[in-house]
């Protein structure tokens, strides 16, 4: 069984409306793989939408949790878990409050983050991947040094970060593994989230976030090598804790669907005794988590 089939609480299913580009990609983005479902939801969605949202909060929640539309279109569940968690996450984004998805590894934080961004903004690629070496420029902005040396500081020499682009375009930015980023770099987000502005002192300018901008971060506090969030930064987020599956049967069902989807994407033959191995792996992971 591949390592990537580790138990998670998300259930990805390919969409019939996936784009040609997404169909050839080894791992298409959510807005590519589920383009058909997103389009069907947009066509049926007559509810009010926040500024620059592609779907209403109701449609975003339906996209994550699954359901059947009035025209008979089946929306596959992207997250299997308490409905209340998805509702709180969507409501947080609709009220311009930044969202922090917190949980141990295997709770589908990244998966939920990606699908929320895809449903809200139609683009899940404005991503900052947090590591111990993530610099401040990854969150704020960098410079094209050839242009900087030739012409000095200017807008043409500035290289916007994904967060800066999201602010200017009213999109949803994502920061993965926030607690792996050094604490001084984490705090770069404080001004962005509280003042909704990003100063550019070299140019004597600033970028003000337009309506529709928001940020989704993921983090866990169980692994080694994590950096605690400052109280000032944590207050800027609404934190939603993603739980592990409630029962072994629920986890087996989730992993079975994930393995089937991975097998189809890699053109692997079906394993006749796969369920036995899945139950064994799920049992091992649950026993390890329980100590």
- The CATH number that applies at residue 115 is 3.40.50.300
Buried b (16+ CB within 10 A) or exposed e, 82-95: eeebbbebbebbbe
Which residue numbers in the chain have pLDDT < 70? 1-23, 224, 246-248, 251, 258, 261-267, 270-273, 291
Residue 228: C-alpha distances to residues 147, 181, 185 (Å): 37, 9, 12
pLDDT of amino acid 286: 72
Q: What is the pLDDT of residue 23?
A: 55
For residue 159, the model assigns a pLDDT of 97
Nearest residue to 157 (alpha-carbon basis) of 141, 168, 170? 141
Q: What is the pLDDT of residues 20-69, one digit of tens each?
A: 455 577 889 999 999 999 999 999 999 999 999 999 999 999 999 999 99
Residue count of the chain, please give it. 291
Q: Alpha helix locations (H) across 66-123?
A: 83-94, 109-121
pLDDT (0 to 100) of residue 244: 79
Cα–Cα distance measured from residue 171 to residue 98, given in angstroms and rounded to the nearest whole number: 12
What is the count of structural domains for the chain? 1
Break the chain down into helix, strand, coil percent, rounded to 5.
45, 15, 40
Q: What pTM was estimated for this model as a whole?
A: 0.84
Can you give the residue range of the structural domain that contains 196? 3-289
Q: What 3-state DSSP class applies to 224?
A: coil
């Amino acid at each position: 069984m591949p390592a990537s089939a580790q138990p998670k609480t998300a259930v990805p299913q390919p969409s019939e409306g996936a784009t040609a580009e997404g169909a050839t990609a080894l791992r298409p983005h959510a807005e590519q793989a589920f383009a058909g479902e997103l389009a069907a939801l947009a066509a049926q969605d007559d509810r009010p939408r926040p500024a620059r949202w592609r779907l209403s909060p109701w449609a975003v929640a339906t996209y994550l949790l699954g359901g059947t539309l009035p025209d008979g279109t089946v929306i596959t569940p992207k997250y299997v878990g308490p409905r209340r968690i998805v509702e709180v996450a969507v409501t947080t984004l609709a009220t311009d409050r930044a969202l922090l998805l917190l949980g141990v590894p295997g709770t589908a934080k990244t998966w939920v983050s990606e699908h929320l961004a895809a449903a809200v903004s139609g683009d899940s690629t404005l991503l900052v991947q947090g590591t111990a070496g993530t610099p401040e420029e990854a969150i704020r902005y960098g410079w094209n040094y050839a242009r900087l040396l030739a012409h000095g500081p200017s807008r043409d020499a500035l290289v916007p970060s994904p967060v800066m682009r999201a602010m200017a375009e009213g999109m949803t930015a994502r920061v993965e593994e926030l607690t792996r980023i050094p604490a001084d770099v984490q705090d770069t987000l404080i001004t962005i989230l509280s003042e909704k502005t990003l100063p550019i002192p070299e140019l004597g300018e600033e970028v003000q976030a337009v309506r529709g901008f928001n940020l989704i971060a993921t983090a866990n506090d169980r692994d080694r090598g994590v950096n605690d969030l400052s109280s000032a930064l944590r207050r800027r987020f609404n934190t939603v804790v993603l739980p592990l599956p409630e029962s072994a049967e629920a986890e087996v069902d989730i992993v079975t669907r994930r393995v089937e989807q991975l097998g189809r994407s890699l053109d692997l033959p079906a394993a006749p005794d796969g369920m036995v191995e899945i139950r064994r792996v799920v049992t091992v992971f649950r026993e390890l988590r329980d100590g």
